[in-house]
Amino acid sequence: MSDILSSKDLKYLLIDSLSLYTEDSRYISGKNPYCFLINKKTFYIFIHNVHDSGKGRTNTDECRIQVSKSKNFLAAQASGLPVLFLGYSTADNTFTAWDPLEQTKRINKKKVISLYSRFSTLKRAAENGLAVYIDDDKQVIVSFKPEYLGLYLENFQGIHKSNEENLLNLIKTSDLTAPTEEEVGEKVNLGKVQFVVTHRQFRRDPDFRVAVYEAYSERCAMCGIQLELVEAAHIVPHSEAGGKDELVNGLCLCSLHHKAYDKGLIYVDAEYKILINEPKIEYLTKVKKDGGFPKFSKLQFDKLELPRSRAAYPSKEYIKIGNKLRGIS
């Protein structure tokens, strides 16, 4: 991975990374900083590509991001919600995070600030899952793999007060924690800091599945396949308050198209046309995850195969909401 990601690319990176941690996560709105909800908590995330430290800096191991007081940033600050600072390295596929309390103090005094770390720390994070760099001001700067982004959001205050040994134990605990339907996660005490690990997985309603199967004759609405490979997909995810287990919020999709739909790779418009999400494809191309796309793009119909009963047609309002939640403009 060597391509620089655009703001839209970084938005999809955040969406995909948070989904690795919990089903109770979604993109809400915003244009860097982006507003996300995870396990009933709401955050703004400011993110830029990590790059070298620029002219006049002699340490070749030094890397940084820069943060400016853009209109979007000031609006996020005014919301009263936490604004977190992240860098992303395509070369190592790692995030780096700086203590938001300390950086907010700095940017309140200046128009532009630089946030520094070390390339060697990013490489250690890629190898071990997580790594810590402590700067000259004794601030804990942490780098980690994408699957731990949700863990960071839930615990950012404690993480910036901890050490690398405890944080490596934290990600091991996260790896071993089973998904739950409970809103409150497993509490973990490491040193003097308490952390929370919440891998949420929502219960599936068997009646919803049966109703969707019957309405679509157990065929994928996007490609027509049966072969016992179909699943009942929610248009508005069932993790959402509006994601009801009702037929008009459902689609019968094969396993492949269900996953592609949930990931925002493809979507449906108000006329029930099936469309490729071109910005997501651009992002996947940059991170070298676009293999097989030409073949995949030929697998779906132009429009959904709808149920015989108009009463079972997918709700256009749900389609609109579902597309927004998946980051589709």
What is the C-alpha separation between 7 and 85, in angstroms, rounded?
14
In this structure, how many other beta carbons lie within 10 angstroms of the beta carbon of residue 88? 24
pLDDT at position 39, please?
87
The model's pTM is 0.82
Tokens 């609405």 found at: 221
pLDDT at position 88, please?
96
Helices (H), the chain: 7-19, 71-78, 100-107, 119-128, 149-159, 164-176, 206-215, 255-262, 278-286, 293-296, 316-325
pLDDT at position 241, please?
62
Per DSSP, 148 falls in state: G
Amino acid at 129: G
As given in the structure block, the two tokens for residue 295 are 């073949």
What is the C-alpha separation between 329 and 7, in angstroms, rounded?
14
Residue 144 dihedral angles phi and psi, to the nearest 5° = -160, 160
Amino acid at 198: T
CB 269 within 8 A of CB 275: yes
List all residues 6 or more positions away from 181 whose beta carbon is below 8 Å from its beta carbon.
Answer: 200, 201, 202, 203
Query: SS3 for 177?
Result: coil
Q: How far is CA 120 from the centre of its chain?
A: 25
Q: How far is CA 41 from the centre of its chain?
A: 14
CATH code linked to domain 7-151: 3.40.1350
What is the C-alpha separation between 144 and 130, in angstroms, rounded?
4
pLDDT at position 243, please?
65
CA nearest to 87, candidates 113, 67, 61: 67
CA nearest to 25, candidates 196, 178, 184, 16: 16
List all residues 6 or more positions away from 212 whose beta carbon is below 8 Å from its beta carbon.
Answer: 232, 233, 247, 250, 251, 252
Query: SS3 for 313?
Result: coil
Instruction: Name residues of the chain where pLDDT drops below 70.
Output: 1-3, 181-184, 204, 239-243
Domain boundaries for CATH 3.40.1350 within the chain: 7-151
* 217-231 confidence digits (pLDDT tens): 999 999 998 988 899
